[in-house]
């Protein structure tokens, strides 16, 4: 089953110098996107995750899942110890969420924006 592509009727051409195009192409490759899709997402302020971000989110969620799995329900831990253990789990989930949802147009390095 193929993925349906949105019907895009308008086209924009951009002229780049060699360095600018290289930077955009490398940025797009680091996000596992085509240059067109990368530029489209940047222009529209959409979420852009690099391959490293996707991997980090996946690994952090795995660790959080393992931590949750080993939560000491029936142990002789004090309430405070259990609370701190659970806070660690929630912290990991929060970090993964921030990585996954926190990348916006204003927080990525765009070529030529002085960042």
pLDDT for 76-108, tens place per residue?
Answer: 888 888 888 889 899 999 988 888 876 433 444
Q: How far apart are CA 49 and CA 103, in angstroms?
A: 7
pLDDT of 34-91, one tens digit each?
Answer: 999 999 999 988 878 787 888 888 999 999 998 888 877 777 888 888 888 889 899 9
Contact 32, 51 (CB under 8 A): yes
Half-sphere exposure of 43 (CA within 13 A, CB side): 9
User: Full-prediction pTM beyond 0.85?
Assistant: no
Q: What is the signed CA dihedral for 33, 6, 107, 57, rounded to 10 degrees?
A: -60
Place of tokens 């660790």: 63
Whole-angstrom Cα Rg for the chain: 20
Q: How far apart are CA 5 and CA 34, in angstroms?
A: 14
| Residue of 51, 27, 53 whose CA lies nearest to 39 | 27
């Amino acid at each position: 089953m193929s993925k349906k592509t949105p019907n895009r009727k308008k086209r924009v051409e951009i002229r780049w110098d060699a360095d600018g195009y290289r930077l955009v192409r490398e940025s797009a490759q680091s996000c596992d996107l085509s240059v067109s899709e990368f530029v489209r997402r940047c222009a529209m302020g959409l979420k852009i995750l690099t391959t490293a971000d996707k991997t980090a989110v996946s690994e952090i969620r795995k660790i959080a899942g393992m931590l949750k799995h080993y939560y000491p329900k029936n142990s002789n831990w004090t309430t405070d110890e259990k609370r701190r253990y659970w806070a660690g789990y929630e912290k990991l989930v929060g970090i993964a969420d921030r990585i996954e949802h926190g990348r916006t147009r204003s927080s990525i390095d765009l070529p030529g924006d002085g960042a």
